[in-house]
Amino acid sequence: MKKKKLRPWKTLSKEMILDHSKFLSVEKHKIELPDGEIIPDWAWVTIPSAAIVLARREDGKFLVFRQSKYAIEGTSLAPVGGMIETDEVPLDTAKRELREEMGYEAPTWVNLGSYIVDPNRGVATMHLFLALDAKYVVEPNSDDLEDQELLVLSREELEDALKAGEFKVMAWTAVASLALGYLNNQPYIKSRA
């Protein structure tokens, strides 16, 4: 099959319309589509990129939170994760978040890939990791705003939670699904660690 050569969109200009904080900015872009059409007011949203980690302990059990978030009705299961600080690489963020929020460290890390949240609006990139053989090393010191409870799940409980839709955020569902695929020797991605 012959591949069609695809043409990129072109950014003609940018204007900041909201610089709310380090957590959110919105720009208005003037763009040219591949067919030449000009769109004068394309919204571009920027939030910090993040590292998301599903951690598995030495005994094969998984660490997740049950937590509340402002935009989620009720509660959700969630892996550990957080925003990447300036001059920090995603793996370092993943390791820092696992230690700070759960009190664990892991000797083995699997890079499950980096994924853009919204391909047309930017938003952020989520860097997904699987931490293996995690050991408890220190009392967690989380400064997060959400109310959360640390849970320890068997593989079967994790799979059941995924099937039941208990991970209500796309990146959280993705990291759990990709990690299980990797552990089942049926990876949908090639490990990049």
Residues 100, 144 within the same domain? yes
Give me the DSSP letters along 98-144.
IIIII-EE-SEEEEEEEEEEETTTEEEEEEEEEEEEEEE-S------
Residues 64, 81 within the same domain? yes
Residues 14, 82 within the same domain? no
Q: How confident is the model at residue 185 (pLDDT cuts 50, 70, 90)?
A: confident
The Cα–Cα gap between 85 and 51 comes to 10
Beta 122-136 vs 80-83: how paired, if at all?
unpaired
Q: What is the pLDDT of residue 186?
A: 64
Q: Is residue 4 one of the residues assigned to a domain?
A: no
pLDDT digits (tens, 9 = 90+) for 90-140: 999 999 999 999 999 999 999 999 999 998 898 999 999 999 999 999 999
- Model pTM? 0.88
Higher pLDDT, 70 or 14: 14
Q: What is the pLDDT of residue 143?
A: 67
Looking up tokens 């499950």, which residue turns up?
112
Q: Is residue 188 one of the residues assigned to a domain?
A: no
